[in-house]
Amino acid sequence: MGLAEGFRWGVATAAYQIEGAVDEDGRGPSTWDTFSHTPGRVRDGHNGDVACDHYHRWPEDIALMSGLGIDTYRFSIAWPRVQPSGIGRANARGLDFYDRLVDGLLAAGIAPAATLYHWDLPQPLEDAGGWMERDTAYRFAEFSYLVAERLSDRVEMWITLNEPVVVMAYGYAFGVYAPGKTLMLDALPAAHHQLLGHGLAVHALRGRGVRSIGLANHYSPAWAASPGDQPAADAFDTFMNRLFTDPVLLGRYPGLMADAPFIRAEDMAVIATPIDFLGVNYYQPTRLKTASEGPLPFEIVDITEYPTTGMGWPIVPDAFLSLLRTLDTRYDLPPLYITENGCSFPDEIGPDGVVDDSPRIKFLDAHIRAMRTAIGEGVDIRGYFTWSLLDNFEWSEGYHPRFGLVHVDYETQKRTPKKSYGWYRDLIASSKPPL
């Protein structure tokens, strides 16, 4: 099936996972600095202090992107570089970095797509309550405005939040990601305040003339372990897939949030401010059964009948297709971008210097085919961004999982394109109309 004219092929990354340089040019601490430096939080005590040193090696990384022939690069802006304490005037040196990056991308013919929040909240804002506090939503809109003030003349595509469900669930409910709170269902205000921040940021960006704004949500199709477990699967679907999409596209929360005291009547119109596209991040489906104990109505059951990635995640391209179909039936969708899709494997450089990551090629090929089937059925998808360009800091798993098209040796910072890099380059080249 033909792709829409102007279909964007890209790669995605996030600031804390690749930049390093955590103390440079006035950057303040983020929740992830604090979390990763707290013993026991991240596997083997890894942290993002150096990461891929992208802060200094970005010209080399842009050259790698050029070699791929991508149209668009999705990266994130570190809030603590722009507002080291989360509030007040912009730190010009922090913005200078993104200025250079954006100019470098444009010079290479690559469109920048900026994500404003990929989980690195300035620590002082967390100390004041973080996303559990309504005020953080206003701070986020202010930060968004400051970034747009500097970059909106050159950055066309903007993503407000990355996967707010993960921030709420892993960060505030279960405590496995920063800021490490275990509030369980009491974490729901963190959902609402992020969504309010999203809506306020859309207004702030529009005020700077931005025309292409969306948010990137994490989606995982919910499978019931048995017919009797369907209510558990539905509850997970609401929590994971609908909680951050219904309010934005339908202007209302699904059941579990209706009438919550922290929601003000006027908030819903802000949250439902029309967006220009929806970002879809997809990795895997989830199987659920009725919970035997605890505050949540569902329990996750391993999916064992499919091959898995290095993270142990089941590889199910059909679930990606069914997700795209479900989104298309459930909502009157704006155009979609696949803002993340990818896999980790324990990739190693072979004696011949080659990183043979054939399982990644198989994964990407099958998922891109699923996307193309959805496009053939009429789902309006305008771009696909692989996670990720480089191996990087995989949050609480540290540097163990390798998600990149490019292998990174963390001792030397040497980048080695994997076999999948050449495969993706050829795929992009073959999907372009001949000159």
The catalytic residues are 163, 340
The dihedral over CA atoms of 276, 257, 235, 336, expressed in degrees to the nearest 10, equals: 0
| Token pair in block for residue 383 | 């771009």
How far apart CA 389 and CA 407 sit, in angstroms, is 9
Nearest to 320 by CA among 338, 335, 334: 338
**From candidates 95, 166, 389, 427, binder to ligand BGC by CB under 6 A:** 166
**From candidates 83, 136, 281, 420, binder to ligand BGC by CB under 6 A:** 281
Is there binding between residue 35 and ligand BGC (CB under 6 A)?
A: no
User: Which C-beta is closer to ligand BGC: that of 53 or that of 229?
Assistant: 53
Is the distance from CB of 11 to CB of 115 less than 8 angstroms?
Answer: no
Is there binding between residue 14 and ligand BGC (CB under 6 A)?
A: yes
Q: How far is the CB of 121 from ligand BGC (least distance, A)?
A: 14
| Token pair in block for residue 322 | 């069914």
Is the distance from CB of 423 to CB of 355 less than 8 angstroms?
Answer: no
Q: How far is the CB of 344 from ligand BGC (least distance, A)?
A: 7
Is there binding between residue 46 and ligand BGC (CB under 6 A)?
A: no
How far apart CA 12 and CA 54 sit, in angstroms, is 13
Hey, which residues between 227 and 266 contact ligand BGC (CB under 6 A)? none
Is the distance from CB of 400 to CB of 354 less than 8 angstroms?
Answer: no
Is there binding between residue 163 and ligand BGC (CB under 6 A)?
A: yes
Is there binding between residue 218 and ligand BGC (CB under 6 A)?
A: yes
Is there binding between residue 407 and ligand BGC (CB under 6 A)?
A: no
Is there binding between residue 19 and ligand BGC (CB under 6 A)?
A: no
Q: How far is the CB of 14 from ligand BGC (least distance, A)?
A: 5
From residue 242, how far is each of 246, 298, 330, 416 by CA, in Å? 5, 16, 10, 39
User: Which C-beta is closer to ligand BGC: that of 136 or that of 281?
Assistant: 281
Hey, which residues between 317 and 346 contact ligand BGC (CB under 6 A)? 340
How far apart CA 346 and CA 311 sit, in angstroms, is 9
| Token pair in block for residue 319 | 């679930």
User: Which C-beta is closer to ligand BGC: that of 152 or that of 386?
Assistant: 386
Q: How far is the CB of 377 from ligand BGC (least distance, A)?
A: 26
SS3 210: coil
Q: How far is the CB of 367 from ligand BGC (least distance, A)?
A: 14
Total site size for ligand BGC, rule CB under 6 A? 11
Is the distance from CB of 13 to CB of 390 less than 8 angstroms?
Answer: yes
Q: Which residues bind ligand BGC (CB under 6 A)?
A: 14, 17, 162-163, 166, 218, 281, 340, 387, 394, 403
